[in-house]
Amino acid sequence: MYSKCGEGAGLLKRIQDEGNNCSIYIEERDYANIYDGILEKTDYPEVGDVVIFDSSGLGTKADSLKDSGFKVFGASRFHDKLENNREFGLRFMLDHGIMIPETCSFEDFKEGIKFIKDNPDKKFVFKPSGKNIPTKLTYSSSDAEDLIIYMNFVSEHFGKEIDSFVLQEFIEGHPISTEYWVGKKGYIKPINHTIEVKKFMNDDIGPSTGCSGNIVWQGEENSILAAILGNVEETLINEEYIGPIDINCIVSKEGIFGLEWTPRFGLDAMPSLLQLIDGDVGKIIFDLASGLSPKMELTNCLSGGVRVTIPPYPIEPDNLKQVQKNSPNIGIPIRGLENCEQNCYFYEVMMKNDLLVHSSGTGVIACISDLGSTIKECFEYPYEVLFDCKIPDKQFRTDLDEILQEMYDEVKETLDVYMDA
């Protein structure tokens, strides 16, 4: 695995547990001790290896390895362009018959603010593009004045890091993500869906995070969401796209609108999906990277996941060393998760003196997930584990079973209208 900050190490551990020889290279040296004592570390792949990429922004390296004869899964320059260039991603939707909300692109904050003033009765979402900008900068405003004040703040403090941004009309509806895994010959079935909660604290209070909790389940191949994602399959084949492809949509009574692409593993969608995959995920990835079309068998139920963290998370630092100086967390013991490894997707951990501890990082410990026939059932075991485990200053949402049930019911109710039509 070639990783930027080690987020995919838990997937590689699953593949190692399936009986494969695995090693990982972590590009960012500040995160290099993640999975010490758990996975073998390497500086460069060996000839014949399958190389898995776990994040965007590594497409140039991925294409270089592919040109050198390696089997590559999960990254390319096209992957990067689809996710990191919002304008390209949205145009890609339009070019393939996928509706999007009214969206305008800007490179100048003054022009963006003028546009808001010219459209005072519309509600917009601010979405910036740039390298390593914080997730929390995406902002759904309450009104024009609120957004203008916020954009002035962002311009002052983050303007140099933001290459461009879009202002996208807010659509009242329900978010859902839809994913296929893609090989040389196109999609392998089945499709899967994710609904996730992003806000850090209960009742959707606090900053947005990558994911605080989610549910994942197998979708229906004859659904309208499968048809929407099916629109881009031929282009992905022509682009020699290998890896997961996910589209995030808003489902509303006015239609289904595409918002953004996730051409990589979703975090924490992937940990919850791993609970559903019946069989060797390493074999699936090997076959896809080799140009084959394997089958993916998913358990026919729901999978729910809870993210557990410690301070200073949810900080997204430019300088991790400075964060560790002000809020040190390396070596904090993680006890109580040793006997539920099958349900734990670990992030920033390492083994030290035979004890699982937090490695370097911002404080992301794990996603704890389980299967269930109902959403409530999915979260019974993760919550039992999280309330009992001994991790100093542990942080996790305790209302996910309730809020995700409500979100799931709303999405299903709206989608049923399209199925009936």
How does pLDDT run across 152-210, given as a tens digit for each residue?
999 999 998 898 999 999 999 999 999 999 999 999 999 999 999 999 999 999 998 98
Task: Over range 300-327, report the average pLDDT.
Answer: 89
pLDDT at 218 (0 to 100) = 97
pLDDT at 85 (0 to 100) = 87
Q: Tell me the pLDDT of the chain averaged across its residues.
A: 94
Does residue 209 sit in the same domain as residue 64? no
In the chain, the amino acid numbered 65 is L
Does residue 282 sit in the same domain as residue 204? yes
Task: Over range 22-50, report the average pLDDT.
Answer: 92
Reported as a single tens digit per residue, the pLDDT across 225-253 is 999 999 999 999 999 999 999 999 999 98
- Are the C-beta atoms of residues 239 and 78 closer than 8 Å to each other? yes
Task: Over range 78-106, report the average pLDDT.
Answer: 94
pLDDT at 420 (0 to 100) = 64
Does residue 410 sit in the same domain as residue 390? yes
Phi, psi (degrees; rounded to nearest 5) at 301: -160, -170
- Are the C-beta atoms of residues 226 and 178 closer than 8 Å to each other? yes
pLDDT at 417 (0 to 100) = 82
Radius of gyration of the chain (CA): 21
pLDDT band for 129, please (50, 70, 90 cuts).
Answer: confident
Query: How many structural domains is the chain composed of?
Result: 3
pLDDT at 326 (0 to 100) = 76
pLDDT at 136 over 80: no
In a domain, 357, yes or no: yes
Question: How much is the pTM?
Answer: 0.93
Does residue 286 sit in the same domain as residue 368? yes
Buried b / exposed e over 79-112, threshold 16 CB at 10 Å, is: bbbbbbebeebbebbeebebebbebbbbeebeeb
Question: Which residues constitute the domain of residue 213?
Answer: 174-421
What is the C-alpha to C-alpha distance for residues 269 and 215, in angstroms, rounded to an integer? 8
Task: Over range 124-136, report the average pLDDT.
Answer: 83
Where a domain ends, among 81, 115, 133?
Answer: 81
pLDDT at 8 (0 to 100) = 98
Does residue 147 sit in the same domain as residue 225? no
Does residue 380 sit in the same domain as residue 305? yes
Question: How many C-beta neighbours within 10 Å does residue 9 have?
Answer: 28
